[in-house]
Structure 1
Amino acid sequence: MDLNKQGIQYMQEGKYEEAAKCFSEAIEENPNEAIYYTNFGNLLSAVGDNERAIAFYQKAIELDDKMGTAYYGIGNAFFNKEDFVKAKDFFEKALKKGLDNSDTYFMLGMTLIQLGQSRLALPYMQRATELNDTDVDANFQYGLCLAGESMIDEAIEVFLKVTTLDANHSDAFYNLGVAYAGYKDDNHKALEMFNKALDIQPDHILAGNGKKIVEDALKN
C-alpha cells in the first residue's frame, strides 16, 4: 500500500500520528503532488488545527488550482473557526471546481444558515438531500429551511422522513409538534409528536413547553 493510502487508512482508524508520518513522507517523496497536502490538511482539521490545515490546503491549491477538495477543506476550516463569510466563499469555489456532492451543498447551506440567509440555503439543502436522500442531518436542516419559509406541508413531509431515517430524532418530532399545533391546528397530533420527542429526550425543554401549551389548549 502506498504512503497516501496508508495515511488515509490510519486517519480512518483514528491513528493520527501514524497518518501524519505517512503524509509527511509522501510529501517529501513527491513535493509537487497536491493531493498529499490536501490529505495532510484533512488530518490537521480532524485534530482541530484549522490554521495549519488552511496552510496545507492553500499549498495544494498553489500546485493544482482545480482541486475542489482543497477548497472544500478550507471552507470547513473557516466554518470551524466561525468565519462564515470566508467559508461560504470557499464552498462556492469548491462547487465551481466540480466538487458536486452532497457534503458540499450541505456545508454551503449550513454556512448560509449561520449567516442568517435561510432562504438562500434552501436550494442547497434540497440539492444535498437529492444527492444523498438518507442523510439525516441534511434532511433535517432542509425541513427547518422549509419551515422557516412557511412551506409547512413540505416541511412536515421532510420531518416525517427524518423520523423514518432516525426513529430517535427528538428534534424532528418536536418540529412536527410545532407544525401541527401552530399551522395545522391539530393539537391532538401535536401532542402525540411532543410526547414522542419527550420519550426520546425527557429533558427536551422546548418539547415540554409545547406539550404544556397544547394540553392547556385541549382542556379549554
Structure 2
Amino acid sequence: MADVRTAGTGAFRRGRMALALAALLPLAACQSAGDAMESLTRIDPAQGSAENIASLSAVIERTPNDPEAYNMRGAAYGRAGRYREALKDFDQAIALNPRSYQAYANRALIYRYMGERERALADYNQAIALNPRYDTAYIGRGELYRQAGQSGEAFRDFERAIQLDTTDPRAYHRRGLLYQASGQHQFAIEDFSKAISLAPREPYGYNGRGLSYLALGDEENAFSDFNTAIRLDDELAESWANQALVYERRGENERAARSYSRALQLDPEYTPARDGLARTRGAA
C-alpha cells in the first residue's frame, strides 16, 4: 500500500483498506471523538459559565464597538451550548472587524455543531484566506472534510496544520484516525502518541492508539491504553467498550460483558457495546 506520508493525498484516497481485524471496525468508526475534543479558540470550559457570560456582557456594555469582546462572549455562548446567541455575537464581531479570522473560525465551528456544513466550510475558507497560517481553521476544516468522508482533503488540512508547527493535539489525533482507517497503524500510533504528549489528560489519544496496537496484535499495550483512558474519564462509553474488546479477545467473557454493560449504561445507543454484550453474554 502506498505510504501517504510520501505519496500524498491522492495515494491516500486510492490506498484505503480495511482494518486487519474486523472486530475493530465498529469501534474504530467511533474513534472520531468528534466535537468532544473541539474548542472555541481553545477556551477554558469555565468560560461557558453564566458568571463569565455576565462578565463579558458587562464588558460589551462598556465597549460596544470592541469586536474581540463579542468574539469572546460568542465563544462562551458556544461553550454553554447557546448556539444562536453565539452566532449573533460572531456576526457582530465580523461586522465590526471583517478581517477577524478567529471570529470566522469560531462561527464555522458553531455551524458545524448545528449541521450547517456549507456555511461552516465557507467560514473556514474565509478564515484561511484572511490568515493562511491559522492552524485552528485548517484543523476545523479538516474535521469537516473527514466527517463527510473526504479523507484526502482532510489529510491535507491536518498535514498543513502540522507543517505550521501546531501545538493543537487535534491535528495529530485526527490525522492518526485517517492513518488508522487506512490500515497504517504504525503511523497512526506515532500520531496518537504525539497527541497524547500534547494533551496527556485527554482519553481520546489513548483510545485511538490502543485500537491501533490491538490491530497490530499488541494486546498488552492496547489494554494499558484503554485502562488509562478509563482512569482519565470513567464516563466515556468508548473506553469501556474498548477494554471489553480486549477481555473478549482473551476469552474472559464475563469481564468483557461487565465492561460492555458499563459502556451501555453510559451510552445506551452505543452499538459496539450492545453487540459486544450480546456476544459475550451468549458465550459466558
Q: Give the structure 2 partner of residue 172 of structure 1.
A: 242
Q: By how many angstroms is 1:123 displaced?
A: 0.8
Cα displacement (A) at 1:66: 0.8
1:167, 1:4 → 2: CA distance? 33
**CA drift at 1:86:** 0.8
- Paired position in structure 1 for 2:88: 21
Q: Which has the higher contact order (CA 8 A, sep 6+)?
A: 2
Q: What are structure 2's unaligned runs of at least 5 residues?
A: 1-58, 60-68, 266-272
Deviations 1:37-88 (A, max 9, x none): 1122122112111222111111111111111111111101112212121111
Tell me if the contact between 2:241 and 2:260 (Cα under 8 Å) persists in the aligned partners: no
CA contact (8 A) 1:103 1:128 kept: yes
Rounded Cα–Cα distance in structure 2 between residues aligned with 1:98 and 1:198: 39
Which whole-Å deviations, capped at 9, do the CAs of 1:118-177 have from their partners, x for residues lacking one? 332111112222222232222112111111112222112212223333446431331221
Q: Give the whole-Å Cα distance in 1 for the aligned partners of 2:77 and 2:215.
A: 41
142-151 or 109-118, which deviates more: 109-118
Q: Of the candidates 98, 111, 117, which is equivalent to residue 50 of structure 1? A: 117
TM-score (norm 1): 0.82
The structure with the larger Rg is: 1
Match of 2:226 in 1: 159
| Moved segments of 4+, more than 6 Å | none
Answer yes or no: is 1:10 the counterpart of 2:60.
no
Q: CA deviation at 1:192?
A: 4.5
1:75 aligned residue = 142
Aligned mate of 1:193, from 217, 242, 255: 255
CA contact 1:27–1:36 (8 Å) conserved in 2: yes
Q: Which amino acid aligns with 2:101?
A: A
Q: Return closer, same or farther for 1:209/1:15 CA change in 2, 3 Å cut-off.
A: closer
TM-score normalised by the chain length of structure 2 = 0.65
Q: Which whole-Å CA distance do the structure 1 matches of 2:147 and 2:261 have between them? A: 32
RMSD of the TM alignment (CA)? 2.2
Aligned residues: 206
Secondary structure in 2 matching 1:204: helix
Q: Distance in 1 between matches of 2:91 and 2:127?
A: 14
